[in-house]
Amino acid sequence: MNVDDVITGKSAEMKIDCPVCGGKNTATYTTQTHELAYFGEIVESTIQCEKCGFRHNDILATEQKDPAKHSLIISKKNLDSRVVRSQSATVSLPDIGIKVEPGPKSEGYISNVEGVIVRFVEATERALNMFQDDLSQENGKRVLENLNKVLNGEMETLLLIEDPFGQSKIMDVRAKTEPLTDNELKNLKTGFTVIEE
Ligand SMILES: [Zn+2]
């Protein structure tokens, strides 16, 4: 069963000066409210500049939440389960050895499990283009192979989302939510394979 009922609510749009190129009223700032079952209200905002092409997505839960760790064993049954990733969350597939940590260009998004893996595939492909040494190429290709197996439902793997502000969520009945310990909170932002967004 999926619990991905999103009731799409109010949306609003306004013209603003672009934070990147400084264009006068060249950027459109859009907000869209979503009501997510068992989570509450989320405001998704997008800035898009028609002059320089800058685009940025953010999400914000309107309720105060506690630091939390969400986990799910990904299988072909739950590739379409909804995922809310805030810009402050660290997303990892620890068994495959890949992790995305929040950086200055981090984006919040509402997607599904498949969409999260696709983002990992894209990040790995970018890393393969950037780092030409043998070790990086070997690691990157192994990660890519495993990500494709997960996408094809041939492999199960653990998905972890750790959010110090508790604004993320995996909308699946099999997903587990636990509080983040002080130690885990301290250690967020360090680790193994790091690909910055
Ligand atoms: Zn611009």
pLDDT per residue over 9-57, tens digit each?
788 899 999 999 999 999 999 998 888 776 778 888 899 999 999 999 8
CA of 57 to the centre of ligand 1 (A): 15
User: Range with the lowest mean pLDDT among 59-63, 65-69, 162-166?
Assistant: 59-63
Residue 3 has what pLDDT? 44
Does one domain contain both 52 and 73?
A: no
Does the pLDDT value for residue 4 go beyond 70? no
130 C-alpha to center of ligand 1: Å? 26
Beta carbons within 10 angstroms of residue 1's beta carbon: 7
- Between residues 1 and 7, which one has the greater pLDDT? 7
Assess whether 93 and 123 both reside in one domain.
yes
- Whether 55 and 124 map to the same domain: the answer is no
* DSSP states along 138-160: HHHHHHHHHHHHHHTTS--EEEE
* Separation of CA 30 and ligand 1 centre (Å): 15
- Two structure tokens written together for 165: 């502000």
Q: 99 and 121: one domain? A: yes
Q: What is the pLDDT of residues 99-142, one digit of tens each?
A: 888 877 788 899 999 999 999 999 899 989 999 999 989 999 99
Ligand 1 centroid distance, CA of 87 (Å): 21
Tell me how far the alpha carbon of residue 24 lies from the centroid of ligand 1, in angstroms: 9
Tell me: do 102 and 36 sit in the same domain: no
DSSP-H helix ranges across the chain: 113-130, 134-151, 182-187
Q: Give 147: exposed, middle or buried? Use CB within 10 Å, 0-12, 13-18, 19+.
A: buried
Residues 91 and 106 in one domain: yes
- In terms of residue numbers, what domain contains 157? 68-196
Rank 62-71, 86-95, 146-155 by mean pLDDT and report only the highest: 146-155
Residues 6 or more apart in contact with residue 197 via CB below 8 angstroms? 100, 101, 102, 103, 105, 106, 107, 123
Lowest mean pLDDT among 2-6, 56-60, 181-185: 2-6
Same domain, 74 and 169: yes
Output the CA 51–ligand 1 centroid distance in Å: 5
Residue with the larger pLDDT of the pair 73 and 63: 73
CATH number of the domain encompassing residue 16: 2.20.25
DSSP 91: E
Distance CA 146, CA 128 (A): 15
Cα 155 to averaged position of ligand 1 atoms, centre (Å): 42
17 C-alpha vs ligand 1 centroid, how far in Å? 8
Residue 49 within a domain: yes
Cα 128–114–133 angle (5° rounding)?
10
Whether residue 158 is found in the same domain as residue 178: yes
CATH number at residue 149: 2.60.120.1040
Measured in Å, residue 55 CA sits from the centre of ligand 1 at 9
Residue 192 has pLDDT above 80, yes or no: no
Sheet containing strand 55-61, strands side by side: 6-16, 27-36, 40-49, 55-61
Query: Would you say 99 and 191 are in contact if contact means Cβ atoms under 8 Å apart?
Result: yes
What distance in angstroms lies between residue 159's CA and the mean position of ligand 1's atoms?
35
Least confident of 79-93, 117-131, 177-191: 177-191
Task: Name the pLDDT band for 78 (thresholds 50, 70, 90).
Answer: very high
Residue 5 pLDDT exceeds 70: no
> What is the Å distance from ligand 1's center to 146 Cα?
37
| 113 and 187 in a common domain | yes
> Does the predicted TM-score (pTM) go above 0.75?
yes
How many domains, the chain? 2
Question: Within this chain, do residues 55 and 86 fall inside the same structural domain, yes or no?
Answer: no
Domain shared by 84 and 168, yes or no: yes
Could you tell me the distance, in angstroms and rounded to a whole number, from the CA of residue 13 to the centre of ligand 1? 17
CB-CB contact of 99 with 85 (8 Å): no
CA distances from 15 to 11, 49, 133, 192 (A): 14, 9, 45, 41
CA of 28 to the centre of ligand 1 (A): 10
What is the CA(107)–ligand 1 centre distance, in A?
Answer: 17
